[in-house]
């Protein structure tokens, strides 16, 4: 028989485990995280799960209300639009355009902006000062206005809208990263690391970044919210995704003409956009609080 363990050893959770435990205490944030995971799943695998194509028209089912209505049909759970297209299919496909692509754009912009910001933060002189003033000017211009200027040059379309938003977000990540590292440079732990003769790469990766992760989480949350809203806004203005692409903002624009006849056609993409934005901000804010409590220990 196995020998009994007579000694009790307390296991201390790792910093990441403590952050997760703190995050997990908030049931709303946990629910929002599950929603985001579900939206990411739909963005990746949704097209293989839908029974119809996003632009497939059923002429015998035009402007059908949702299935729970007296005039609804169980074949179309959330009804159809004015052209007989299944709303469930279009909402699922729209997750890729409104959330999936902006999510990838934010990750790419963050990688470029954080790298450039970290490089700029450890340099001093005229170049660093010029970059700071240039970023201050760019940050004073609203992101949607900058995106509109870029689209006016490149032309409308989803790919150009994504490119414009990516270019707009890079200076924001660069500015935030540079300022966060500059604020940390004069602190004692940084001075001690410099006196130990560590390299700049070690200083950035092992000294600075663990202490500015809270700032980066906030900026990632803001960046993702901006990207989702701007993609939807550009689609609504018919400067982003073009009809018949099932992007949620574009679907809102197309539904204006039938809003009184088929209100669910406007309500469904609006609700999907609202739930996505609330979930992103709730997860980001709760994660920031959890990281802040971990850093204060």
> Domain locations in the chain?
25-296
Residue 168 has pLDDT above 70, yes or no: yes
Look at residue 30 in the predicted model and tell me its pLDDT.
92
Look at residue 127 in the predicted model and tell me its pLDDT.
60
Higher-pLDDT residue of 194 and 297 is 194
Look at residue 97 in the predicted model and tell me its pLDDT.
92
Q: What is the mean pLDDT of residues 8-17?
A: 67
Q: What is the mean pLDDT of residues 173-187?
A: 84
CA 191 to chain centre: 35
The number of helices, as runs of H, and strands, as runs of E, in the chain is 12, 0
The pTM of the full predicted model, rounded to 2 decimals, is 0.86
Maximum mean pLDDT: which of 49-53, 100-104, 116-120, 199-203 = 100-104
CA distances from 79 to 67, 162, 267 (A): 6, 30, 12
Residue 109 has pLDDT above 80, yes or no: yes
Q: What is the mean pLDDT of residues 2-9?
A: 58
Q: What is the mean pLDDT of residues 190-209?
A: 78
CA distances from 191 to 136, 182, 203, 210, 278 (A): 28, 13, 10, 16, 40
Provide the pLDDT confidence category of residue 4 given band limits of 50, 70 and 90.
low
Higher-pLDDT residue of 4 and 168 is 168
Q: What is the mean pLDDT of residues 8-30?
A: 78
Q: Which CATH number fits domain 25-296: 3.90.1150.10, 1.10.3720.10, 3.30.110.30, 3.40.190.10?
A: 1.10.3720.10
Look at residue 258 in the predicted model and tell me its pLDDT.
84
**Average model confidence (pLDDT) for the chain?**
84
Residue 9 has pLDDT above 70, yes or no: no
Look at residue 41 in the predicted model and tell me its pLDDT.
94
> What span, in angstroms and rounded, lies between the C-alpha atoms of 297 and 278?
29
Q: What percent of the chain has pLDDT over 70?
A: 88
> What span, in angstroms and rounded, lies between the C-alpha atoms of 152 and 155?
5
Q: What percent of the chain has pLDDT over 90?
A: 24
Q: What is the mean pLDDT of residues 213-229?
A: 89
Residue 46 has pLDDT above 80, yes or no: yes
> What span, in angstroms and rounded, lies between the C-alpha atoms of 130 and 125?
9
**Is residue 98 left, alpha or beta, with left meaning phi > 0 and alpha meaning psi from -120 to 50?**
alpha
Backbone angles phi, psi at 105, to 5 degrees: -65, -40
Residue 6 has pLDDT above 70, yes or no: no
């Amino acid at each position: 028989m196995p020998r009994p363990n007579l000694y009790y050893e307390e296991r201390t959770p790792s910093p990441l485990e403590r952050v997760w435990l703190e995050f997990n205490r908030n049931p709303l944030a946990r629910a929002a995280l599950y929603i985001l995971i579900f939206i990411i799943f739909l963005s990746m695998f949704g097209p293989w799960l839908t029974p119809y194509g996003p632009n497939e028209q059923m002429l015998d089912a035009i402007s059908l209300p949702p299935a729970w209505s007296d005039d609804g049909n169980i074949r179309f759970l959330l009804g159809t639009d004015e052209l007989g297209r299944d709303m469930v299919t279009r909402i699922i496909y729209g997750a890729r355009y409104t959330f999936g692509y902006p999510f990838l754009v934010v990750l790419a912009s963050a990688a470029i902006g954080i790298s450039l910001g970290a490089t700029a933060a450890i340099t001093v002189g005229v170049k660093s000062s010029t970059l700071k003033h240039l970023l201050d000017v760019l940050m004073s211009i609203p992101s949607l206005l900058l995106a509109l200027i870029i689209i006016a040059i490149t032309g409308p379309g989803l790919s150009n809208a994504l490119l414009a938003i990516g270019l707009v977000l890079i200076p924001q990540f660069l500015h935030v990263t540079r300022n966060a590292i500059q604020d940390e440079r004069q602190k004692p732990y940084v001075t001690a690391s410099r006196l130990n003769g560590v390299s700049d790469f070690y200083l950035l990766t092992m000294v600075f970044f663990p202490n500015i992760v809270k700032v980066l989480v906030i900026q990632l949350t803001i960046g993702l919210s901006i990207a989702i809203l701007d993609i939807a806004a550009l689609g609504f203005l018919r400067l982003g995704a073009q009809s018949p692409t099932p992007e949620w903002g574009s679907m809102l624009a197309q539904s204006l003409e039938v809003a009184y006849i088929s209100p669910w056609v406007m309500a469904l993409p609006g609700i999907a956009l609202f739930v996505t934005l609330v979930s992103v901000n709730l997860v980001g804010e709760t994660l920031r609080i959890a990281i802040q409590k971990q850093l204060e220990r």
